[in-house]
Structure 1
Amino acid sequence: MRRTVKAFRTSKGKRLVYLTAYDYPSARLAERAGVDAILVGDSLGMVVLGYPSTVPVTLEEMLHHTKAARRGAPETFLVADLPYLAYATLDRALFAAERLLKEGGADAVKLEGGEEVAEIVQGLTRAGVPVLGHMGLTPQTASLLGGYKLQGKRPEEAERILRGALALEAAGAYGVVLEMVPALLAKEITERLAVHTVGIGAGPHTDAQVLVFHDVLGLYGEFQPRFVKRYLEGERLFLEALGQYVREVREGVFPGQEHSF
């Protein structure tokens, strides 16, 4: 049975599992594996669409992939990212959230930022939109943070991230993602918040963990962050299988008698 926002609000301290999924087959596998929540992240821009960052991803692209993931995982809690600038104002955020929830079938939306987006989060939650926050490394604005690198090493950075997480909770967010922050900072934030935290590159002390589907299965070979654990060398296995298919067709081995009518 699909989890509810209330279930996540009362899950503090439990070890929850989030996983990204961007289409029908990946979401179907995630649901069958038993994850607690699926994130249709705008990281699809890089691992599925081939963009250099998450910035080019549009609302229409997010909607397209959210619909597909929902069809693949009808019984799993589904969170969809609000793409870059889709929440620059409350009106834009409400428009984007309405489409992702009503048309896409998402259960909640995620947005990046702390104190600077707290008013937007408050407006969304007042309208009945469940919101997952996101602090630490925020990929949509990574260039402002100096690139894809650890955040919160300096005391002033750590204080900004802590204040942001507290502001998101106060604004009504049902949880907060902590990306690429020191483990001890993530531990402190997790202990300070009543809502659950979701770590990615944030150590073992968060309430939940999230990884990218393609990273877990080794399907995205361009770059492997330190915090990723590959559970399968999928790219190598896929290339071996595809290479065998190519050879068998060229050598006349496939299709054989058993594949013919």
Structure 2
Amino acid sequence: MNAAVLTPPDIRARKGGEPLVCLTAYTTPVAKLVDPYCDVVLVGDSVGMVLHGLPSTVPVSLDMMVLHGQAVRRGLSRALMVVDLPFGSYEESPAQAFRSAARLLGETEAGAVKLEGGVAMADTIRFLNLRGVPVMAHIGLTPQAVNQFGGYKVQGRGDQATLVRQDAVAVAEAGAFAVVLEKVTDPLARDITADLKIPTIGIGASPACDGQILVVDDVLGLFTDFKPRFAKRYAELGRMADAAIAAYRDDVRARRFPGEEHVFGDAPRTKA
């Protein structure tokens, strides 16, 4: 029998306990692979870069998130599924955010949404939380604001540390059940983790965070356009796939494939 599906309160209750294991997924087969091992599976807007070849997450649409959310939902039986609200689908107003979140939850059966921003998004998080939409927050480096940051830069150094702290406190007080800290300096991430009453989930932050998240394609070595410093590759499936496809090409050109065992005769084969 499958374990019960994890919920946002379950994740929040893990504060200070066993570290939370989180990965992204964008397809049904990958969702099935990661589900037994993960507490949270994020359908991230990183899908735009990883699967669709986009230069950033900014062009990702709500339709795209719904499509991939539905695919991932079919592959999960235990982990909490969280879906990203894409750029432009929530920043205008809390009401816009609710409409977008309601669509994601209704059409994908996700357990929660994730949105980027701290102090500026606190009212929106509070608005959603009061209307039954669980929210995972995301502060530090927020990829949807990459143009404003001028690149994928580390956050929390020098005077920035105060701003990141303020963002962390704001999203927690607004009702977020967890917060992603991306590319935040280790000392600052440790302090925030100690101060907040909700779990922190690090990505390029600190081992002291209450959990960790990575893009699954980075973990498996499938996304090879670039490798973030904070990502650890546990396999090199991209290289293996390259070798397999090259071997297939060689077999086809040498007429070694298909072989007798791959084709069909005029009459069914009989067993000996």
How high is the TM-score relative to the length of structure 2? 0.93
Q: How does 1:76-225 map to 2 (within 5 A)?
A: 76-88=79-91, 89-154=93-158, 156-225=159-228
User: Which one of the candidate residues 27, 48, 57 is aligned to 2:31?
Assistant: 27
Deviations 1:184-209 (A, max 9, x none): 10000000000000000002110000
Distance 1:92 1:245 in 2: 49
User: Which one of the candidate residues 51, 56, 76 is aligned to 1:53?
Assistant: 56
Deviations 1:49-80 (A, max 9, x none): 11000000000000000000000113321000
Where 1:22 maps in the other structure, the secondary structure is coil
Q: List alignment gaps of at least 5 residues for structure 1.
A: none
Task: Tell me the CA shift for residue 260 of structure 1.
Answer: 2.1
What is the aligned partner in structure 1 of residue 5 from structure 2?
2
What is the aligned partner in structure 1 of residue 268 from structure 2?
none
- Displaced runs of 4 or more, over 6 A: none
Distance 1:110 1:6 in 2: 15
Task: Tell me the CA shift for residue 166 of structure 1.
Answer: 0.6
Distance 1:6 1:16 in 2: 13
Where 2:139 maps in the other structure, the secondary structure is strand
Distance 1:216 1:78 in 2: 19
**Letter in structure 2 aligned against 1:142:** V
Distance 2:24 2:7 in 1: 18
The aligned length equals 259
Q: List alignment gaps of at least 5 residues for structure 2.
A: 265-272
Distance 2:257 2:75 in 1: 31
State the identity as a percent.
Answer: 47
Deviations 1:122-147 (A, max 9, x none): 00000010000001000000121221
Distance 2:88 2:169 in 1: 23
**Letter in structure 2 aligned against 1:40:** V
**Letter in structure 2 aligned against 1:174:** F
Distance 1:196 1:103 in 2: 27
How high is the TM-score relative to the length of structure 1? 0.97
Where 1:210 maps in the other structure, the secondary structure is strand
Distance 1:158 1:100 in 2: 33
Where 2:126 maps in the other structure, the secondary structure is helix
Task: Tell me the CA shift for residue 18 of structure 1.
Answer: 0.4
Distance 2:252 2:116 in 1: 48
**Letter in structure 1 aligned against 2:186:** A
Give the number of the structure whose alpha-carbon radius of gyration is greater: 2
**Letter in structure 2 aligned against 1:208:** G
**Letter in structure 2 aligned against 1:244:** A
Where 1:17 maps in the other structure, the secondary structure is strand
**Letter in structure 1 aligned against 2:79:** T
